[in-house]
Structure 1
Amino acid sequence: MAKIMKLFLIFVLVISLVESTLIPRQTENGDACARISVDYKKSKGDPSFSAKYSDVKECLDSIPYNRELAEKIIENVKKTLQGFYVFLSQAKEEPQPGFSFKAVDLIKELDALLLKDYTSDYRFMTDINNLFSELKDAHLNFISLCYNHFIFKQQLYLYSVINKDDIQIIKIFDDEIDHSTVDCEVTHIDGRPSMEVIKEFADTINKSKDAGARFNIALTALKINENGGHNISSSKFTIRNSLPEKSSIDYSLTGVVVIPNVMPSDSDFVNQMFELQKGFKLLEDKGVQKLIFDFNENGGGYVDLALFFVFLLFPNSSPSFHNDMVVSELSRALFDAATSRSIHENSIDTTVITPPPSFSIESLTRWAVDTANEVTDSSSNFDIFAFKDPLADRHFHTVEEFIGNNTFVRGGTPTRYTTKFVDRHSQKINILTKLLAGNFKEYKWMSEDMIILTNGNCGSSCSLITQRMAEMFNVKTVGVGGYKDTPLSYASFPGGMVYLDHALNIELEGLELFKNETLKDSLPSPFNNTVIMSFTLREVYDVNDDRVLEFTYKPAKYRLYYDEQSARDPSKLWLKVAKIFEQ
């Protein structure tokens, strides 16, 4: 049977923003943006409000392209990237076997955008975002807030299984309109084989350098919420933020331990520490001998909590990898300026710090956290006194020592990087655990008693946990989903540290570098409040200390695939994973 699924547009735009930044509104029906605004007001904020695809398309394309403004935007983006983006040179290299992405000379491609004849500002801004997506670095983003307030949503969700003939197929996971289609096979989409269409779309997603992980993100996955229930996650093929090429799609049909994120449920880190310990104690008290860590659909979160998670399971070693940053004229100026105002020039010897007497374990823990924060906290991400030399096991004393003499050829471009360092998050955990020595229970589980399960969409802080447990402690890894008979990465975008252009501008302003005439050709101008740009400021190195983790292929040791039952019930998948302990 065939079914036409209409693409609905869910309007979630703040109307005042439309009127002030997008619409030269003259009459209620004078243009598409005004029509959407009026209709939304008439709905009185109805959360189910939808607009016509034709109106949204006309609205987005109605803002004229301004070449002078475009040149300023491109120049600003280039200065930011050339000054701080740590992967700018390496992005020009071909991927390692196992990864799937295009080598990109980002500066050259940004210049090439100015050679195009754009019909609207929306198309220009979208091309910048699409160019960033080609690098498959989820920490690198360019978002125009004017155009990012529409959601294009189909009322169905897709998933992939291996059928009884050992062929990978696409099926309907859920249909909000017609439940009779659930579990029907999708043979074709717009007249083309469904696997081909999904793969093509998945390769536009920026969240992983692994094609199989991107495939999983394009489809539906379940994410376990804090209440133990399931929420639908990912499904980027049927829920999009950018304007689809057409308004409808034609579908041809034939009929454990869960870590959902590393974001604290409240702002109290100590509370989260106790919650983790309480959870592990509960498992131990129940006699649980094996642990399966389900990191599916985990986008990361709080770095300190991620490192503490690893420490609890492996308390006799440091959970840190080494970092570095790119050295440019602008970053050097920031290192100098931030360090000259640092409060950390005389680092505190933590061995002489003693806890107050007669503290309860909770009071002791809070004291230790506050002390570790005080010792490692820094008002700047460029204060070199806040970083530690991992080889000498001491803080850097000068900017020159921190920068060192480290030039690597990446992407054919000689590029300077700082000396490798341990960041303040790792230092904080190390200090915290020293202050609390003897007060943490050591669990009986060994690395061979643990298995990590992911669909590859385990990024940022989540990847810190899985990379450390797998690389440092040989915990087994299982990848689920992805492409049949193809290895799958167990983590994505480890990056190092994501940084926002807004935070950079605050740093430059606070250190008075905008007044520095010698830097005027290097300094990016602040974007207006309609653009958000993010980039990777620091990179993280592998255990062997010479490979950048972001560009190092790390496939899961074991592979599993979803079926009709395990796609809807994660416990079915956990039972399959448990059998790996017997191997």
Structure 2
Amino acid sequence: MKLLPRNLHGYKVAVITAACLSLTQAKPSDPCAAIAGKSIATFHEAKACLQHFPFDESVANQTLDTVRRVATDLYVFNEIAASPPQVEGLSVVPVNITYGLDVIKNTKWHSDQEFHDAVALLLDKVHDAHLVYSPFCYRQFVFWQPIQLNALIRHRRLVINVAYVKTDIWPDAKESWTGCEVTHIDEREALDMVVDYAVNNNGESKDVNTCLNNIMNTKSYFHGWDDGADDLGYHRFLPAQEMHSYTLRCPKNNTQSDREEYDEPFTVKVPWVAQVPQGFSDANSYWNKYCQSSHANMRKRNLASSDNFLDVDELKMIHEGQAFDLSPEAINGVGGRKGPYAQFIPLKGENSKVGVIDIQSFSISSEDRQEFVNNFTAGLKQFEKDGIEKIILDLSSNGGGDACAGEFMINTFFGSTPDYPSDVKYSPFLERVVKKAYETQATKWIDYRSDKYKGSDWYTHTVSYTRGKEQVKFSQPISLSCATWNDELSNVKYNNTKWKASDILILSDGRCGSTCAIVASRLRLSHKVPAMGLGGIRGNRMQFASFPGGESERLSGFLMDLQALDLQNDPDAPAPFPIRADMGWTFREVYKPGQVGNEKDLLEYSVNNADCRMHFDDENADDVEKLWADVAQVLLNGQCPLI
């Protein structure tokens, strides 16, 4: 599951120093008041407001202490991230989180915003989309580039193309630029610049192709989760510079984009434009609404006291993503589409024997579980009734969610699936949490099962494995029990006797993460369902899934669990952040089938390449039905065999 948008500050690789982030313009007395009530602000106006709030050493120390505790005691990949294995096909760099936090602590920051973005950047460099720090305080503005880009194959070469323009935020933008090739960005070859950005500045995945897809704007896949905030034209964080230059070459009048007949190239300078939140009138009200946390003074509490210091209402608001003024739903309504969790679409014409199951999300709320099961079962029955012989399982741009929903889907097609062993990093603090969970039969920790141990013994009987350069203690191998999930549902069964593995094709742009990645991996590795990669860098083999780490946690949810277990005052518990913020991390690592212990068998640090490949072009980039028709022809012609 993806937590919240986070990434670098702009196109150029940032260096975490106060010098390169220094404020270049004099601050007015209240720059936030100057733009309050406006819908649009300039880059410098928004920057002045965001950087108006001074660096607070006490806030910084509390923030770093919480991040450090989570990384050290709870983040399962902390040690391997510092010294990762070199795997062909993966783009990983060593990131010692503890050392990075020390560097941040010893830096003199000019503003509070610069500090918090530095923390977010550090975690982003691990290339684990589960690992994220998101300061809601500085994610309220939305920054747009009027030119929105995608990557297409045109005349057998990969080009950067203007997907569409936003004339609503910048009147100088011209609709006629749509379909023009971008040859240079900031005086660099456009493709080189974009690939460089994908490799260095995007933490979505360890697969470069997935990162490239993530920073491009593909309107066909925008399923409603707030994902585009780290692409080339849409940020929730402050960009590094005011504008960028684009050199365009556009087709001559009345010619198509795929005809190499162009007008003379020209260069335009395009500013970042800020969409302004509406819930403040000045700097004080901005801080009080978006930044001030009810936990700000929690360090002053008496740890020996049994007083409840956690504000559960605030934690719930943060956990449910309700801390945005410009909500993800409102933002994603621009140029996007939203729909149900899964859609069953029979194709037409020569592809009438092919059906598409578009799995848009596994983030299924508890009240929707029965509906999801009913709809999925009904969809398969209807496909069978309609004579559908081949199925495209479209998992593109799926951010994951409920692992039990994924298990239900796999079992519906193929019956039981071999367990993928997983384990949890050991710490004395988490041992107390797990034991208390079993004593009280509360929280998610009771949903894990072990073949050899009962109760909490799976966690207390530890085993040591090498991770990077260190020996690290882990729990016994476990798997997730979905008994509770299944017990809540009425008995809806579907016995698949029609479709075998070769009748199904996984379609993925690589942005299939967490639960989606585990589902795709099980289908491909255990059930031999072939996978087609979509998009990415031509000539570069791509994976069909990203960040398959195992399972993630959110600090907001973890703290609510501690409250339920009456462990909120445990001296080793991570404290709530002193400003309104949240953090996510992977707490359970998962292995390839039948493998346990070796870091080279972790799905997060393994390569699972697609069996075949398709790229976007001028016809299918903005028309998902045309894309599905192209994929259907590959499937019907048997052109994507299992490798």
Q: TM-score, normalised by structure 1?
A: 0.79
- Residue equivalent to 1:559: 613
**Aligned counterpart for 1:504 among listed residues 558, 564, 571:** 558
- Residue equivalent to 2:509: 455
> Secondary structure in 2 aligned to 1:539?
strand
CA contact (8 A) 2:551 2:589 kept: yes
- Residue equivalent to 1:171: 161
> Secondary structure in 2 aligned to 1:267?
helix
CA, structure 1 residues 223+529, in 2 after alignment: closer, same or farther (shift >3 Å)?
farther
Counting only pairs closer than 5 Å after superposition, residues 201-280 of structure 1 correspond to structure 2 as: 201-202=197-198, 203-223=200-220, 236-255=231-250, 256-264=356-364, 267-280=367-380
CA, structure 1 residues 279+250, in 2 after alignment: closer, same or farther (shift >3 Å)?
same
CA contact (8 A) 1:95 1:102 kept: no
CA, structure 1 residues 96+429, in 2 after alignment: closer, same or farther (shift >3 Å)?
farther
CA distance in 1, matches of 2:227, 2:401: 19
CA contact (8 A) 2:59 2:578 kept: no
> Secondary structure in 2 aligned to 1:409?
strand
CA distance in 1, matches of 2:97, 2:524: 32
Which has the higher mean CA deviation after the structures are superposed, 153-162 or 467-476?
A: 153-162
CA contact (8 A) 1:220 1:235 kept: no
**Aligned counterpart for 2:469 among listed residues 384, 401, 412:** 412
Return the offset for 1:225.
7.7
Return the offset for 1:529.
4.8
CA distance in 1, matches of 2:629, 2:573: 55
> Secondary structure in 2 aligned to 1:268?
helix
CA distance in 2, matches of 1:150, 1:415: 41
**Aligned counterpart for 1:286 among listed residues 377, 386, 389:** 386
> Secondary structure in 2 aligned to 1:475?
coil
> Secondary structure in 2 aligned to 1:382?
helix
Which has the higher mean CA deviation after the structures are superposed, 413-422 or 396-405?
A: 396-405
Amino acid in structure 2 at the alignment position of 1:253:
L
- Residue equivalent to 2:333: none
CA distance in 2, matches of 1:258, 1:123: 40
CA distance in 2, matches of 1:497, 1:237: 28
CA contact (8 A) 2:210 2:510 kept: yes
CA contact (8 A) 2:543 2:609 kept: yes
CA distance in 2, matches of 1:563, 1:115: 49
Amino acid in structure 1 at the alignment position of 2:512:
C
- Residue equivalent to 2:519: 465
Return the offset for 1:537.
1.6
CA contact (8 A) 1:159 1:172 kept: yes
CA contact (8 A) 1:301 1:460 kept: yes
- Residue equivalent to 1:423: 480
Return the offset for 1:493.
1.3
Per-residue CA deviations over 1:157-198 (Å, capped at 9, x if unaligned) read 21112231x322101111233221111100011111111222
> Secondary structure in 2 aligned to 1:244?
coil
Per-residue CA deviations over 1:476-506 (Å, capped at 9, x if unaligned) read 0010111110011101112222211122223
Return the offset for 1:475.
0.4
CA distance in 2, matches of 1:262, 1:380: 20
- Residue equivalent to 2:622: 568
> Secondary structure in 2 aligned to 1:458?
coil
> Secondary structure in 1 aligned to 2:78?
coil
Amino acid in structure 2 at the alignment position of 1:108:
Y
Instruction: Name structure 2 gaps, 5 residues minimum.
Output: 1-27, 168-173, 251-355
Per-residue CA deviations over 1:202-227 (Å, capped at 9, x if unaligned) read 2322221111100001001134689x
Counting only pairs closer than 5 Å after superposition, residues 39-188 of structure 1 correspond to structure 2 as: 40=37, 49-92=39-82, 93-164=84-155, 166-177=156-167, 178-188=174-184
CA distance in 2, matches of 1:468, 1:332: 30
CA, structure 1 residues 215+252, in 2 after alignment: closer, same or farther (shift >3 Å)?
same
CA distance in 1, matches of 2:160, 2:370: 44
Amino acid in structure 1 at the alignment position of 2:578:
N
Return the offset for 1:474.
0.6
CA contact (8 A) 1:221 1:235 kept: no
Amino acid in structure 1 at the alignment position of 2:143:
F
Return the offset for 1:248.
1.8
CA distance in 2, matches of 1:334, 1:81: 17
CA, structure 1 residues 250+496, in 2 after alignment: closer, same or farther (shift >3 Å)?
same
Amino acid in structure 1 at the alignment position of 2:51:
D
**Aligned counterpart for 1:381 among listed residues 444, 454, 477:** 444
Provide the aligned length of Structure 1 versus Structure 2.
Answer: 493
CA, structure 1 residues 447+417, in 2 after alignment: closer, same or farther (shift >3 Å)?
same
- Residue equivalent to 2:431: 332
Counting only pairs closer than 5 Å after superposition, residues 338-353 of structure 1 correspond to structure 2 as: 338-342=437-441
- Residue equivalent to 1:538: 588
CA contact (8 A) 1:307 1:464 kept: no
CA, structure 1 residues 176+509, in 2 after alignment: closer, same or farther (shift >3 Å)?
closer
CA, structure 1 residues 159+235, in 2 after alignment: closer, same or farther (shift >3 Å)?
farther
- Residue equivalent to 1:359: none
Amino acid in structure 1 at the alignment position of 2:576:
P
Return the offset for 1:406.
1.1
Return the offset for 1:148.
0.8
CA, structure 1 residues 276+224, in 2 after alignment: closer, same or farther (shift >3 Å)?
farther
CA contact (8 A) 1:82 1:328 kept: no
CA distance in 1, matches of 2:609, 2:627: 19
CA contact (8 A) 2:139 2:237 kept: yes
> Does residue 491 in structure 1 map to residue 545 in structure 2?
yes
Per-residue CA deviations over 1:378-411 (Å, capped at 9, x if unaligned) read x22334xx4212x45xxx3253444323101101
Amino acid in structure 2 at the alignment position of 1:246:
Q
> Does residue 323 in structure 1 map to residue 422 in structure 2?
yes
Which has the higher mean CA deviation after the structures are superposed, 179-188 or 299-308?
A: 299-308
- Residue equivalent to 1:371: none
> Secondary structure in 2 aligned to 1:262?
coil
- Residue equivalent to 1:300: 400
Per-residue CA deviations over 1:214-260 (Å, capped at 9, x if unaligned) read 0001001134689xx9x996781101111112222211001132222
Q: TM-score, normalised by structure 2?
A: 0.72
CA distance in 2, matches of 1:501, 1:233: 23
CA distance in 2, matches of 1:387, 1:264: 20
Per-residue CA deviations over 1:280-337 (Å, capped at 9, x if unaligned) read 111111111111111111112333222211111112x236422211101211121222
CA distance in 2, matches of 1:283, 1:505: 44
CA contact (8 A) 1:222 1:233 kept: no
CA distance in 1, matches of 2:632, 2:30: 59
Return the offset for 1:417.
0.6
- Residue equivalent to 2:603: 549
Return the offset for 1:554.
1.1
**Aligned counterpart for 1:399 among listed residues 422, 438, 456:** 456
CA distance in 1, matches of 2:485, 2:532: 28
Instruction: Name structure 1 gaps, 5 residues minimum.
Output: 1-28, 44-48, 343-378
> Does residue 199 in structure 1 map to residue 199 in structure 2?
no
- Residue equivalent to 2:494: 440
CA contact (8 A) 1:225 1:260 kept: no
Which has the higher mean CA deviation after the structures are superposed, 295-304 or 179-188?
A: 295-304
- Residue equivalent to 2:7: none
CA, structure 1 residues 510+176, in 2 after alignment: closer, same or farther (shift >3 Å)?
closer
